[in-house]
């Protein structure tokens, strides 16, 4: 008795459960997409590793030098400034490269989008997951900084660090899906995205702490940006304090962003093959 044959319906709209099911069913294709990107990058492992941490380390060097030369004193009291900076940059770099990766992914895969079928959300998922891999390597560097500065690593706060990674991934995925949808709708937006992402660094606790500055506007911006949350929760692993109430709020915000991203992307993907 042969196995039951799969039945597929082709309809103008796909139900959310079918969409989710397809995402799970074709997961092998997703692994291959990620594997392809990783394999291309890590063909020469030394270079692969270098590129995954290159950008945040260069920014780290620049910002640190500028602070030194201009004689600015950091307002960070809870941990060495270098550790504060590198942990912020790790999250920021993950977010920006995920979003840029997703926008690029739509464009560079235009050929296979119009010639083959696979769940389109993989175009967003695979760059974000690939960036997560680089992010984890970057976290090892952050850990290295903590060891160098003899900063106590608080094991009991490891849970917060994991939630930080979760919030960063969820938000990055949501924003990537939104950015990619906007670019498909109007490809000129593509030019605005890198600018916005680089500007975002000033609204985030990367080289100054919003909490310590105490400006109410900055404080609100901080509380309503889950990526800011991911940064400070990562730092909680090295002794910075975190309010549980804020954590829950960021967690909630990140899930909202992801849902928005999925809703928008599902509208976009229906005619994606016609528009790329």
Partner 1 sequence: MKVISAERLSKAYFLKTEGDQEFHALKDISFDINEGETVGIIGHNGAGKSTLLKLLSGITLPTSGEAKVVGSFSSLLEVGTGFHPDLSGRDNIFLNASILSISRKEVLAEMQNIIAFSGVEKFIDQPLRTYSSGMKLRLAFSIIAHLKTDIITLDEVLAVGDSMFQVKCMERIFDFKQQGRTILFVSHNLSAVKKLCERTIVLRLGEIVFDGPTDEAIAFYLNSNSLTESFRESDFISNLTVSSTGKTGSITLELSNIPSDTAIDLGINISTQDGMPLYHFSNRFIDKSLVPENGALQLELTFDHQLKAGNYNVAIYIGQDEQPFLWQENAATLTVAPFAPYGFHNPDAIQASIITDFDINQL
Single out the residue of 197, 189, 191, 186 nearest to residue 268, CA to CA.
186
Q: Is 77 in the site for partner 1 (CB under 8 A)?
A: no
- From 56-64, 71-79, 150-158, 264-272, span contacting partner 1 (CB under 8 A): 264-272
Token pair recorded at residue 228: 């800011």
| Shortest spacing between CB 272 and partner 1, in angstroms | 8
Residue showing tokens 């993989």: 122
Q: Is the separation of the CB atoms in 154 and 239 below 8 Å? A: yes
Residues in 186-205 that interact with partner 1 by CB under 8 A: none
- Per CB under 8 A, does 29 bind partner 1? yes
Q: How far apart are CA 192 and CA 142, in angstroms?
A: 30
Cβ proximity of 142 and 60 under 8 Å: no
Residue 271 interacts with partner 1 (CB under 8 A): yes or no: yes
CB of 108 to partner 1, least distance (A): 10
Burial class (CB in 10 A: 0-12, 13-18, 19+), 140: exposed
Q: Which of residues 115-154 bind partner 1 (CB under 8 A)?
A: 115-118
**Min CB(138)–partner 1 separation in Å:** 24
Per DSSP, 43 falls in state S
Size of site (CB under 8 A) for partner 1: 31
Q: Of the two residues 43 and 68, which places its CB atom closer to partner 1 in the complex? A: 43
Residues forming the site for partner 1 (CB under 8 A) = 5-14, 26, 28-29, 32, 36, 39-40, 43, 111-118, 270-274
């Amino acid at each position: 008795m042969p196995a039951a044959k799969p039945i597929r319906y082709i309809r103008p709209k796909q139900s959310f459960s079918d969409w989710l099911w397809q995402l799970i069913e074709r997961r092998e294709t997703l692994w291959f997409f990620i594997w392809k990107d990783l394999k291309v990058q890590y063909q020469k492992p030394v270079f692969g590793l270098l590129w995954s941490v290159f950008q945040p380390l260069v920014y780290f060097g620049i910002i640190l030098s500028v602070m030194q030369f201009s004689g600015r004193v950091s307002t960070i009291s809870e941990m060495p400034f270098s550790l504060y900076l590198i942990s912020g940059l790790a999250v920021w770099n993950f977010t920006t490269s995920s979003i840029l990766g997703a926008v690029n992914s739509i464009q560079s895969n235009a050929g296979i989008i119009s010639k083959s079928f696979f769940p389109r959300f993989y175009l967003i998922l695979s760059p974000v997951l690939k960036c997560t891999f680089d992010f984890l390597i970057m976290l090892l560097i952050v850990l290295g900084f903590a060891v160098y500065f003899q900063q106590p690593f608080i094991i009991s706060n490891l849970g917060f660090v994991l939630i930080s990674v979760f919030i960063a991934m969820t938000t990055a995925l949501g924003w990537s899906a939104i950015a990619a949808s906007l670019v498909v709708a109007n490809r000129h937006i593509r030019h605005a995205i890198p600018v916005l992402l680089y500007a975002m660094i000033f609204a985030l606790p990367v080289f100054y702490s919003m909490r310590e500055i105490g400006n109410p506007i900055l404080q609100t911006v901080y509380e309503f940006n889950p990526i800011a949350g991911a940064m400070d929760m990562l730092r909680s692993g090295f002794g910075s304090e975190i309010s549980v109430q804020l954590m829950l709020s960021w967690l909630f915000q990140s899930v909202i962003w992801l849902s928005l991203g999925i809703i928008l992307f599902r509208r976009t993907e229906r005619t994606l093959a016609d528009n790329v």
